[in-house]
Amino acid sequence: MRTAMLVCLLGSAALAACATGPAPAPASSAAQDPGPRVEWGLVIHGGAGSRTPPGWNAEQRAAREAAVAGALRAGHAVLAAGGSSLDAVQAAIVLLEDDSTFNAGRGAVLNAEGRNELDAAIMDGPALRVGAVAGVQRVKNPILLARAVMERSEHVMMIGDGAEQFARLADIELVDPAYFRTQAAVNDLEREKASERRKRDSAAAAPRAPPEESSAARINSHYGTVGAVALDRQGRLAAGTSTGGRTNKRYGRVGDVPIIGAGTYANADCGISATGHGEWFIRYTVARDICVGVQYRGQTIAAAADSMMFRVLDPIPVDGGVVGMDRQGRIAMAFNTASMPRGYIGPDGAPKVWLTR
């Protein structure tokens, strides 16, 4: 009910749906594009999940709605006060990293050895400044370390122990790795390992069966990467993303989130944060390709995002989604999964939140 009401506030396309009563928000960006200039604002996602409906109960839905709305408000407070899009993105992501509902910071998924290895990136669009970290195990808020890499080092990306050494120097909070671990993540790892064992057994019984390549066949119920894109009052875009990666990933695996142009990208015209099967998002340089559509192919950000999600990735099939914003403040929210907690907030300060299609 609450979601339906929020959908009714978004824009003309959604209003048309509201005229005939509450309708679910569509998964394609085009139908959610609020149209002409909406000025400054912030768009966020909380992970694309899988094609199987998430089966959240009322409490779980409410937790996600509240978290997304809270993150939108935190970013809005920064922007409304004349703060930078970078600060808004950071404020939103820190809240979501601290919320164990999501696969970022506390609550992140576990690798095959039962450890959390966290990736994050942030990008300042007009200046093309970037900071990214990968495989960190003790950094409470990886997005803060990514920001420090961008602003306080000569580098673009730092990984593992080196990144954590830098975190100490930069006064970024470190925690015991146990801080990140939740029972939900432990359960997900057990499920994924059992599924892997079943696949191995059936491959042994039929050795010529081709290996499964696409993401659609994988079980990964605890997706929930978080990301944000903001446009500030000075017209500057920024994007950021933070994740624990994929359940049961191998030690040292790095996904798309900290790979600039794959899971995270911003320039003067366009910002994107992605979620989904990272290996494929890297292969297709998803975030940058959408921005190329905006910059060079004359596409709206909504059309460019839809084209990537539904013409390129969906047929493979690769699961995932993106949120984005252009320099006028037009937004994109596209995903091909059953759910993607997401939201938008503009100058009026009223958060619009959706969970499913």
* Backbone angles phi and psi of 242, in degrees to 5: -145, 140
* DSSP code per residue over 283-346: HTTHHHHHHHHHHHS---HHHHHHIIIIIIITTTT--EEEEEEETT--EEEEE-SSEEEEEEE-
Stretch in the footprint of ligand ASP (CB under 6 A) among 4-12, 22-30, 120-128, 276-284: 276-284
Site string for ligand ASP, 204-223 (x = CB under 6 A): -------------------x
Instruction: Name residue 158's beta-bridge partners.
Output: 133
Is there binding between residue 246 and ligand ASP (CB under 6 A)?
yes
| Dihedral of the alpha carbons of 170, 178, 114, 284, in degrees to the nearest 10 | -40
Q: Is 255 in the site for ligand ASP (CB under 6 A)?
A: yes
Q: Does 264 bind ligand ASP (CB under 6 A)?
A: no
- The span from the CA of 8 to the CA of 21, in Å, is 9
Cβ closest to ligand ASP, residue 125 vs residue 276: 276
Residue 32 sits in the site that holds ligand ASP (CB under 6 A)? no
In the complex, least distance from residue 122 CB atom to ligand ASP, rounded to whole angstroms: 16
- What tokens appear for 24 in the block? 């679910």
To the nearest 10 degrees (0 to 180), the angle between helices 142-152 and 85-98 is 150
Q: How far is the CB of 341 from ligand ASP (least distance, A)?
A: 12
Pair 101, 224: CB distance under 8 Å: yes
For ligand ASP, which stretch binds (CB under 6 A), given 120-128, 173-181, 194-202, 256-264?
Answer: 256-264
Pick from 50, 243, 336, 339: which binds ligand ASP (CB under 6 A)? 243
Q: Where does this chain touch ligand ASP (CB under 6 A) — which range of 93-101, 187-195, 251-259, 335-343?
A: 251-259
DSSP H or E segment with residue 271: strand 270-276
The rounded radius of gyration (Å) of the Cα atoms in the chain is 19
Could you tell me the smallest distance in angstroms from the CB atom of residue 106 to ligand ASP? 16
Q: Which stretch binds ligand ASP (CB under 6 A): 166-174, 270-278, 295-303, 325-333?
A: 270-278
Contact yes or no for 136/167 (Cβ under 8 A): yes
Minimum distance from residue 289 beta carbon to ligand ASP (Å): 15
Strand partners, 231: 41, 237
Q: Which is nearer to ligand ASP, 125 or 258 (CB)?
A: 258
> Does residue number 54 form part of the binding site for ligand ASP (CB under 6 A)?
no
Q: Which range, of 131-139, 153-161, 166-174, 252-260, touches ligand ASP by CB under 6 A?
A: 252-260
The residues assigned a catalytic role are: 225
135 near ligand ASP (CB under 6 A): no
**Phi, psi (rounded to 5 degrees) for 356:** -115, -165
Alpha-carbon gap, residue 153 to 151, rounded angstroms: 6
CB of 54 to ligand ASP, least distance (A): 13
Q: Does 324 bind ligand ASP (CB under 6 A)?
A: no
Binding site for ligand ASP (CB under 6 A): 47, 223, 225, 243, 245-246, 255-257, 263, 275-278
